[in-house]
Amino acid sequence: MSVFDLVGVGFGPSNLALAVALQEEKSKSHSRNLRTVFLETKPKFSWHPDMLLEDMSIQVSFLKDLATLRNPCSRFTFLNYLKESGRLDSFINLQEFFPTRLEINDYFLWAASHFDDQVDYKKKVTGLRPLSLNGEKAIDTIEVVCEDSVSGKIDSYLTRNLVLATGGRPNLPKGIAIKPDGIAFHSSTFLSRLRNQYSDRNFPYRFVVVGSGQSGAEILYYLANHYPNAQVTATIHSFGYRPMDDSSFINEIFFPQGVDSFYDLSVVDRNEFLKDHHNTNYSVVDPSLIDRIYRLLYKQKITGVDRVKIMPFLNLESMIETTNKIEAEFTHLIDKTTVKLECDGLILATGYDHSNQHSILDGISSYLTKEQCGDYCLERNYRLISDKNFLPNIFLQGMCEKTHGFSDTLLSILSIRSKEIVDSLLSGTNISSHQNTMT
């Protein structure tokens, strides 16, 4: 069985940026060639496919793409994608720094197509096993166990190093459980559920959207405009949608050098910082979308139609789901009364869990150092701190917010983080100088 120098688990934007950085490093004459493969559960590249709502823009400048901050001359920049697509002049004419999510997804697809020979799709990683191939005490190899997401066949890959970038896991409100094919579902499956379960756009469905952030607001607006006869109710914790703080000074939080400043803080100060600046990324909405929603509600006042509404200060406590309806119970956060809403679809726009306590790591957790809270300890270069007899390097992407700051779960530092990981790999010792095999 061949031994890889690097296995990447997941092939979304984070590991795509890593693939780009590795390829460009490989082109340098002095650089070592790392034998690499990426494993992805999906049958092809996709980026939040069920939230690709038309006319919705990303909240990050296109210059924070897969390569520009690391190498503006890269062929994998967003601008070069536009040039090769024949749209560069037209895009410049838009005078827009924030492309639509649909266009950014197309950019990622374009970039990913250059790495098809390095990605094994339909491979769901189920666990990791420590191995010693050198016959000594030290662990020098990881067996990555995976399942074919179509056939169910079990397979495995051997690697000296690993990068885990699986994206966030859907977060559900405390005490709430959903069925795989139920009518209560997380926003991560939004468009698929609409196509499969709510295909009649003119039917008077009753939708309830739970969540105060960008996804919840986008879903409210989408349902209001695509289901003209539906009742759409948004339940939020605050009085109204809060605008994200994207002022110039605050935005420096997302600078690459901001990671150094944040990492150097104590655990207490990190937590305080995340709490104080929560409104840069969580439970907040792009101001332009807030304006569009407000105008939509104002038009209802003119026509006397009241089918779209926002109900503030509500927290979802429980729900009862039958075959074709849900009764959801909320607590009013101010007067503590109980509010019950009946609906045909309950959409939970309740965010993602980005903690580094990932179940994939369970098989090797005994070799990894943990904080008192149970989180794994991380070095500044995103490497998990491990036992001295555990030689493989394991890097995390998108699970390091508590140690590396808000930018870690966003697109902001994709290219810079990739460079730091590549540099760490190339300077490490657990890399082969030639192709190795095990029989």
Instruction: Identify the domain containing residue 219 by its residue range.
Output: 172-244+282-351
Residue 265 lies in a domain: no
Q: 132 and 54, same structural domain?
A: yes
The per-residue b/e assignment along 322-358, b for 16 or more CB within 10 angstroms, e otherwise, is eeeebebebbeeeeeeeeebebbbbbbbbbbebbbeb
Which candidate, 50, 203, 26, 18, places its Cα nearest to that of 119? 18
* Three-class secondary structure of residue 83 per DSSP: helix
| pLDDT value of residue 136 | 77
Q: 70 and 204, same structural domain?
A: no
**Structure confidence by residue, pLDDT tens digits, 244-301:** 988 899 889 999 999 999 999 999 999 999 999 988 889 999 999 999 999 999 999 9
Q: 220 and 200, same structural domain?
A: yes
**Structure confidence by residue, pLDDT tens digits, 372-419:** 899 999 999 999 999 999 999 999 999 999 999 999 999 999 999 999
Q: 214 and 124, same structural domain?
A: no
Q: 200 and 214, same structural domain?
A: yes
| pLDDT value of residue 436 | 39
Residue 158 lies in a domain: yes
| pLDDT value of residue 337 | 97
Q: 177 and 141, same structural domain?
A: no
| pLDDT value of residue 29 | 59
**Structure confidence by residue, pLDDT tens digits, 324-366:** 899 999 999 999 999 999 999 999 999 999 999 999 999 999 9
Residue 46 lies in a domain: yes
- Predicted TM-score (pTM) of this structure: 0.94
Q: 141 and 79, same structural domain?
A: yes
Residue 401 lies in a domain: yes
Q: 393 and 342, same structural domain?
A: no
| pLDDT value of residue 137 | 82
Residue 277 lies in a domain: no
| pLDDT value of residue 32 | 74
Residues in contact with 58: Cβ distance below 8 Å, sequence separation at least 6, in sequence order: 98, 99, 100, 101, 104, 411
Is the pLDDT at 438 greater than 50? The verdict is no
Q: 193 and 160, same structural domain?
A: no
Alpha helices by DSSP H, 63-100: 78-85, 88-94
| pLDDT value of residue 246 | 85
| pLDDT value of residue 432 | 64
Question: How many folded domains does the chain comprise?
Answer: 2
Q: 122 and 233, same structural domain?
A: no
Confidence class for position 434, pLDDT limits 50, 70, 90:
very low
Residue 259 lies in a domain: no
Query: CA 375, 379, 385 angle in degrees (round to 5)?
Result: 60
Mean pLDDT for the chain overall: 94
- The residue from 333, 351, 369 where one domain ends is 351
- The residue from 323, 351, 379 where one domain ends is 351
Distance from C-alpha of 365 to C-alpha of 348, rounded to nearest angstrom: 31
Residue 262 lies in a domain: no
- The residue from 351, 377, 392 where one domain ends is 351
Q: What is the mean pLDDT of residues 210-237?
A: 97
Which candidate, 153, 159, 163, 165, places its Cα nearest to that of 130? 159
Half-sphere exposure of 272 (CA within 13 A, CB side): 5
Is the pLDDT at 221 greater than 70? The verdict is yes
| pLDDT value of residue 135 | 76
Is the pLDDT at 112 greater than 80? The verdict is yes
Q: What is the mean pLDDT of residues 47-70?
A: 95
Q: Backbone phi, then psi, for 131, in 5-degree steps?
A: -135, 155
| pLDDT value of residue 285 | 96
Q: 424 and 365, same structural domain?
A: yes
Residue 302 lies in a domain: yes
Q: 164 and 182, same structural domain?
A: no
Residues in contact with 199: Cβ distance below 8 Å, sequence separation at least 6, in sequence order: none
Is the pLDDT at 437 greater than 60? The verdict is no
Distance from C-alpha of 12 to C-alpha of 30, rounded to nearest angstrom: 29
* Three-class secondary structure of residue 231 per DSSP: strand
| pLDDT value of residue 297 | 97
CATH number of 324's domain? 3.50.50.60
Is the pLDDT at 435 greater than 70? The verdict is no
Q: What is the mean pLDDT of residues 116-129?
A: 97
Q: What is the mean pLDDT of residues 161-188?
A: 95
